[in-house]
Amino acid sequence: QKEVEQNSGPLSVPEGAIASLNCTYSDRGSQSFFWYRQYSGKSPELIMSIYSNGDKEDGRFTAQLNKASQYVSLLIRDSQPSDSATYLCAVKSSNSGYALNFGKGTSLLVTP
Amino acid sequence: GAVVSQHPSWVICKSGTSVKIECRSLDFQATTMFWYRQFPKQSLMLMATSNEGSKATYEQGVEKDKFLINHASLTLSTLTVTSAHPEDSSFYICSIPQAGAFFGQGTRLTVV
């Protein structure tokens, strides 16, 4: 079973702080990695994608990938209350077609 | 604007009836679409891969005779939940594989 693991949280951070979200995956053949944000009752929206080892920055978001450790993370700088949501880590494997394998998500709460 | 349009956004039906959910790709020709299901506080679980002009591929444990998928054109896939039961109540989401994944708005199905 190919698994994607996330701490369910909730992760609570004060406004303006850095939120750090982590994800591990079991399939070493995984090639593409995604972070989605999902508000309650809504469908996921793509925040970041990352394909190679290292860091990728986009505005307040930084994705980090370490394939040797099978670990991917998302940092949110200057966290805002509007960032409060569930963050889903998703992995695409080489032999899964184009379907994504999702973690259960980490609930983030940014307190004013 | 939306890349994938899903309809309806919510539906309530009586046990034993059937419900059809439509998923339209607005900007891409989608030979493949995915159908996911999400129970409360759970992750998105892939149900099936919809293939234009051919049979859908179902994930293990998903009844193909209960969840009928039709992908008659490059822009439209439909999921019909037949003889719905309360345990089918869930959030159903479709997606297309381009650029990670673009998701529809989701359909909240409640079977009473």
Summarize pLDDT for B49-82 with one digit per residue, the tens. Answer: 999 988 999 999 999 999 999 998 999 999 999 9
Q: What is the mean pLDDT of residues B87-104?
A: 89
Kindly list the residues from chain A whose CB atom is less than 8 angstroms away from the CB atom of residue B61: none
Residue A95 has a pLDDT of: 64
Reported confidence tier of residue B2, pLDDT bands at 50, 70, 90: confident
B87 pLDDT above the threshold of 70? yes
Reported confidence tier of residue B17, pLDDT bands at 50, 70, 90: very high
- What is the spatial distance between Cα A60 and Cα B59, in angstroms, rounded to a whole number? 37
Is B103–A45 a contact, with Cβ atoms under 8 angstroms apart?
Answer: yes
Q: Per residue in A21-57, is it b (16+ CB within 10 Å) or e — as a string? A: bbbbbebeebeebbbbbbeeeebbebbbbbeeeeeee
Residue A94 has a pLDDT of: 66
Residues in chain A with pLDDT < 50? none
B8 pLDDT above the threshold of 80? yes
B40: contact with A, CB 8 A cutoff: no
Residue B54 has a pLDDT of: 87
* B43: nearest CB among A41, A42, A104: A104
- Exposed, middle or buried by CB within 10 Å (0-12, 13-18, 19+), for A20? middle
Reported confidence tier of residue B6, pLDDT bands at 50, 70, 90: very high
- What is the spatial distance between Cα A63 and Cα A49, in angstroms, rounded to a whole number? 8
- What is the spatial distance between Cα B93 and Cα B37, in angstroms, rounded to a whole number? 6
